[in-house]
Amino acid sequence: MQTSTQTSMQTFGSRLSAAMNQHGPLCVGIDPHAALLRDWGLTDDVDGLREFALRCVEAFGGHAAIVKPQAAFFERFGSAGVAVLEETLAGLRAAGTLSLLDVKRGDIGSTMDAYAAAPHRAELLARRPLGRAHGHHHPRPALTSFRA
């Protein structure tokens, strides 16, 4: 296992290259949307989120080159969900696994649904114009959540 000094002295590219040499080019996502939690027999709440995320860390940590948690699915539970995300990232670091935090806004439907479910109480939402990088992405879930 690398020390924090060794890690800080290496570039991300060299750490990713080493991880891919050891584990192959696999990047595993952690996307705990409501239906997936239910499919796993878990509750769609912070407790279910934590159980799912920690199972993923245990399964993927030290076995995949990089793990990509989707922030929206954690943020939908507010600060408690963000705390689980921090715990998830810390678990991956402890396992020596690189992480890529997916924080795209204006993403696919399930991700936009999760952002819309987040307990942010604002009157407006700043969003980039629709792009076609991943196909048709509609802001409807986010816009619906901001209706009066």
Axis-axis angle for helices 78-94, 46-60 (nearest 10): 10
Closest listed residue to residue 87, CA positions, set 44, 56, 43: 56
Which of 104, 125, 141, 142 does the annotation list as catalytic?
Answer: 104
Q: Is 68 a catalytic residue?
A: no
**137 close to 130: Cβ distance less than 8 angstroms:** yes
Closest listed residue to residue 90, CA positions, set 54, 137, 133: 54
> What positions carry a catalytic annotation?
104
